[in-house]
């Protein structure tokens, strides 16, 4: 009889083996809790990256209302990092250990808006566009994590994540409101 090696019957890989991601770390998602933990790590990495990116957006803004809104959201982002650390404690997991490459790409695109030249309202609109993409990425992540935490009956986790989601929705609405004013100024 021939040896089966790493494959089970009929040449199929053993489904019980843990998969490795590109960096060689375990990326096993067998349960809702596993998926939630992965989402929390993704959000944590996103928020950490944003604590470095938002100050550049503040500095690159010409409109005082935009700079103020971004500075306010930086403080919220720093609180969200702390909240995600608390979520990790509640779930008995570390929120570190994963780099959110999706957010990295969105931030990279946003950095391009800071390198452009043109009329100030147009440049600020470019920053707002980048900010809105960031917010929508985060909103999707928080909504997913909330749904998973609800499924697990993790009420305290849900409450913490909902607070961050409310801040992200508020930031997106603020950016949209500022954009409306800037579009009117740019059209004049």
In this structure, the dihedral spanned by the alpha carbons of residues 129, 132, 138 and 139, taken in order and rounded to 10 degrees, is: -150
In this structure, the dihedral spanned by the alpha carbons of residues 98, 44, 46 and 48, taken in order and rounded to 10 degrees, is: -100
What integer pLDDT is reported at residue 187 of this predicted model? 79
Kindly report, residue by residue over 125-183, the tens digit of the pLDDT: 999 999 999 999 999 999 999 999 999 999 999 999 999 999 999 999 999 999 999 99
The rounded distance, in Å, linking the Cα atoms of 17 and 76 is 40
The rounded distance, in Å, linking the Cα atoms of 78 and 74 is 6
**Residue ranges of domains in the chain:** 30-187
The rounded distance, in Å, linking the Cα atoms of 6 and 33 is 27
Residue 143 has a CB neighbour count (10 Å cut-off) of: 16
6-10, 67-71, 96-100, 154-158: lowest mean pLDDT where? Answer: 6-10
Which CATH class name applies to 30-187?
mainly alpha
Kindly report, residue by residue over 12-57, the tens digit of the pLDDT: 444 444 444 444 344 566 999 999 999 999 999 999 999 999 999 9
Residue 104 has a CB neighbour count (10 Å cut-off) of: 14
Distance, CA of 179 to chain centre: 22
């Amino acid at each position: 009889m021939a040896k089966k090696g790493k494959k089970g019957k009929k040449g199929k890989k053993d489904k019980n083996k843990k998969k490795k991601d590109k960096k060689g770390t375990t990326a096993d998602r067998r349960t809702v809790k596993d998926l939630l933990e992965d989402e929390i790590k993704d959000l944590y990495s996103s928020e950490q990256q944003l604590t470095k990116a938002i100050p550049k957006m503040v500095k690159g803004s010409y409109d005082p209302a935009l700079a103020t809104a971004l500075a306010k959201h930086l403080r919220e982002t720093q609180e969200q990092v702390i909240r995600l650390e608390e979520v990790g404690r509640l779930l008995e997991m570390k929120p570190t250990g994963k780099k959110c490459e999706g957010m990295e790409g969105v931030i990279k695109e946003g950095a391009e808006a800071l390198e452009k030249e043109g009329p100030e309202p147009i440049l600020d609109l470019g920053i707002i566009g980048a900010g809105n993409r960031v917010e929508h990425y985060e909103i999707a992540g928080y909504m997913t994590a909330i749904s998973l935490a609800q499924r697990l009956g993790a009420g305290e986790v849900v409450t913490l994540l909902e607070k961050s989601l409310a801040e992200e929705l508020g930031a997106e609405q603020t950016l949209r409101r500022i954009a409306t004013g800037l579009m009117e100024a740019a059209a004049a």
